Amino acid sequence: MTRIAILGAAGRMGRTLIRLIAAADGLDLVGATARPGSDADGLDAGTLAGCGALDVRVTVSVAAAIESADVAIDFTLPAALIGNLEAATAAACPIVIGTTGIDADGNAAIDSAAASIPIVYAANYSSGVTLLQRLVRTAASALDSDYDAEIVESHHRYKRDAPSGTARALGQCVAEGRGVRLDEQATYAREGLTGERPAGAIGFQALRGGDIVGEHTVMFAGDGERIELTHRAASRETFARGALRAARWLTGQPAGRYDMEDVLGLRG
């Protein structure tokens, strides 16, 4: 039995994860957190998620939520990341992180916590996107920079960060395939008299609307032909299932920072 604590239990992903854990064999929900001041504080986590009482009270204390957990899963907001990592490190609790929009300090905090606990961080936990990242790296290394790379993503109207963490990760794959630095090549959106497209640029466009779960296309546009690699998520359960797979896998790993390619055994 893998005992799991969900950090961000009141969110869309948190509630989806709780419902899947309740329905799964071999997984047990033992803790759940909400942000301080949340109406969810003190509620039963299963009732909150709409799957019937699970006898686990939502708390604002990460330390209390992870006390008896084998692994924590964090789908909160970037501002919560450092505190969640500190609590996980203090309790020696492995952690799966799905929160996106993390800045350089947050990234450095993950690296430093990974010296003492095992951590999976992925901007997208779907198996399809993990495979897409590989395909994009391969395409970018096979095609020279005469093929203009553009990444277009679409998400629901509630999403707070742009471009999506997945789009950034795909941009990083283009950069790695080409042997360049993303921060030197990235162009975010365009407006007005932009001038011609610089050679080698990696472009990002973010669309927002309705209930779109998440769509990403990486386009390589050359003279006379265009290649488009697209992933469409139809349900956020796909991310939640991937995060649970990562959680099961992580409990057997030594300290270190991992991603979904490690979880799916795609490395090497």
Active-site residue flag, 155: yes
Task: Select the residue interacting with ligand NAD from 5, 6, 7, 73 (CB under 6 A).
Answer: 7
Residues 6+ apart with CB under 8 A from 197: 148, 187, 203
CB 151 within 8 A of CB 171: yes
User: Would the annotation count 26 as a binding residue?
Assistant: no
Of these residues, 137, 155, 231, 257, which one is catalytic?
155
Return the CA Rg of the chain.
19
- CA-to-CA separations, 50 to 14, 27, 61, 125, 212, in angstroms, rounded: 12, 18, 22, 23, 22
Longest dimension (CA), the chain: 61
122 versus 244: smaller Cβ distance to ligand NAD: 122
Name which of residues 192 to 231 contact ligand NAD (CB under 6 A).
none
Mask of contacts with ligand NAD, 35-54, x by CB under 6 A? x--x----------------
| Cis preceding linkage at 94, omega within 30 | no
Residues 6+ apart with CB under 8 A from 107: none
CB 187 within 8 A of CB 163: no
Determine if 75 is a binding residue for ligand NAD (CB under 6 A): yes
Of these residues, 3, 19, 57, 159, which one is catalytic?
159
13 versus 69: smaller Cβ distance to ligand NAD: 13
Active-site residue flag, 23: no
Mask of contacts with ligand NAD, 112-151, x by CB under 6 A? ----------xxxx--------------------------
Name which of residues 234 to 263 contact ligand NAD (CB under 6 A).
236, 239
Report the SS3 class of residue 114: coil
Known binding positions for (S)-2,3,4,5-tetrahydrodipicolinate: 156, 165-166
Interface with ligand NAD by CB under 6 A: which residues?
7-8, 10-14, 33-35, 38, 75-77, 80, 98-101, 122-125, 236, 239
- Catalytically active residues, by annotation: 155, 159
